[in-house]
């Protein structure tokens, strides 16, 4: 059997009786090499099956031109949109992209970070897992000046750069809208308060109540894993309540839609008896009847901006003046909350 091995520029140079440096410059389209010589070298190189060893070249430059991304889960419309924005920019700039998912697990997030570090990625884009409580597993990258941009679910650490929306303001606006529709007993279905997104949305909800002279009742806060099942469980809990809420603000659309459907099964009118508002403006929010009031924020733009910031850090390692960016959001009012 004929031995298979990688053809190098030395093999091409030997076949043409040229120096390896001449072959190398020709393959890089160097202006000092004549077009005739370039054409001849390219022809022989193709015949011999020569392939440019980008990996070896990148190692010499101490770069792999590869970006790593860690996301909580891939089966999310929001996260898919973010990744679409990331891929667009990496592709346009000649970078590869390695995507990993923590599956909402701090332990798996640690494995993802280790895998990407060992893959020699030039930088990282990270949205934290549901139960991540510290950032110790990023310390190795910080110490080696490997840039990290956090987005959406971000780390609260000195010097961390992030791309977010004003979750506090969005939560305040969604709750204030429910109050404007006459709601006075508003439940909030939120997530792990270690995560900035859930903590800030809850704080916005709480402040909207206070500003409208409505006392916050801790029994009206339900913390969950933000799955569809948690929305179903919330609805079943409400059905059993002696004094039911007249409004619900959920921290994502998945739980909002599940809550609506389960309440309707129990014969509860939405929004007549209970008005509902969600978060994320996922497609499912428009398929449920009545359509779900929600908060929209630009997921694809978030991905594009996050990776653009990362590439800027890679090009200018000494530039530490990149501030965190807060993107705009919009409250989209639909039938699920319109009682007036």
Q: pLDDT tens-digit profile of 300-340?
A: 999 999 999 999 999 887 766 667 899 999 999 999 999 97
Would the CA dihedral through 212, 239, 224, 297 be positive or negative? negative
Query: Looking at the chain, which residues constitute the CATH 3.40.50.2300 domain(s)?
Result: 66-165+299-328, 167-297+331-337
The pLDDT of 96-124, averaged and rounded, is 93
Does the pLDDT value for residue 52 go beyond 70? Answer: no
Residue 61 has pLDDT above 60, yes or no: no
* Separate counts of helices (H) and strands (E) for the chain: 13, 12
Please tell me the predicted confidence (pLDDT) of residue 1: 37
CB-neighbour burial class of residue 286 (10 A; exposed 0-12, middle 13-18, buried 19+)? middle
Q: Using the predicted structure, report yes or no on whether residue 56 has a pLDDT greater than 70.
A: no
Peptide bond into 160 cis (omega under 30): no
Does the pLDDT of residue 15 top 50, yes or no? yes
Written out in words, the top-level CATH class of the domain with range 9-52 is: mainly alpha
Angstrom distances, CA of residue 251 to CA of 49, 248, 311: 55, 10, 31
* Nearest CA among 47, 42, 46, 49 for reference residue 7: 49
Identify the CATH class of 66-165+299-328.
alpha beta
* C-alpha distances out from residue 121 to 66, 165, 279, Å: 5, 27, 33
Percent of the chain with pLDDT over 70: 94
Average pLDDT over residues 227-237: 97
Identify the pLDDT of residue 305: 96
Region(s) of the chain under CATH 1.10.260.40: 9-52
pLDDT average, residue stretch 121-137: 93
pTM, 2 dp: 0.82
pLDDT mean over 274-293: 96
Q: Which residue has the tokens 């603000």?
A: 249
> For domain 167-297+331-337, is the CATH number 3.40.50.2300?
yes
Nearest-angstrom CA–CA distance, 250 and 259: 9
Q: Please state, as a whole number, how many other Cβ atoms lie within 10 Å of the Cβ of residue 28.
A: 10
């Amino acid at each position: 059997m004929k031995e298979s091995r990688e053809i190098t520029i030395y093999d091409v140079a030997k076949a043409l009786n040229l120096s390896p440096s001449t072959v190398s410059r020709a393959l890089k389209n160097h202006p000092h090499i004549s077009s005739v010589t370039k054409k001849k070298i390219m022809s022989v190189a193709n015949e011999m099956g020569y392939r440019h060893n980008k990996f070896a070249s990148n190692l010499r430059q101490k770069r792999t031109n590869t970006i790593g991304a860690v996301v909580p889960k891939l089966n999310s419309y929001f996260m898919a949109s973010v990744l679409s924005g990331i891929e667009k920019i990496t592709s346009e700039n000649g970078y590869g992209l390695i995507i990993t998912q923590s599956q909402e697990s701090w332990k798996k997030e640690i494995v993802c970070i280790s895998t990407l570090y060992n893959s020699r990625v030039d930088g990282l884009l990270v949205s934290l897992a549901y139960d991540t409580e510290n950032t110790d597993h990023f310390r190795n990258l910080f110490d080696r000046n490997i840039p990290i941009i956090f987005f959406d679910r971000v780390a609260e650490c000195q010097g961390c750069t992030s791309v977010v929306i004003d979750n506090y303001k969005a939560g305040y606006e969604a709750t204030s809208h429910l109050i404007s529709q006459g709601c006075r007993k508003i439940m909030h279905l939120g997530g792990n308060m270690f995560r900035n997104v859930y903590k800030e949305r809850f704080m916005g909800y709480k402040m909207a109540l206070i500003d409208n002279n409505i006392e916050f009742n801790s029994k009206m806060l339900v913390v969950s894993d933000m799955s569809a099942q948690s929305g179903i469980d919330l609805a079943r809990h409400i059905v059993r309540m002696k004094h039911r809420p007249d409004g619900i603000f959920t921290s994502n659309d998945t739980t909002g839609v599940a809550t609506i459907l389960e309440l309707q099964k129990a014969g509860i009118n939405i929004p007549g008896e209970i008005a509902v508002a969600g978060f994320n403006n996922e497609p499912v929010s428009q398929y449920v009847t009545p359509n779900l009031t929600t908060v929209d924020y630009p997921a694809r733009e978030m991905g594009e901006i996050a990776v653009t910031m990362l590439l800027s850090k890679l090009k200018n390692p000494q530039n530490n003046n990149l501030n965190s960016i807060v993107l705009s959001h919009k409250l989209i009012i639909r039938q699920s909350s319109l009682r007036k």
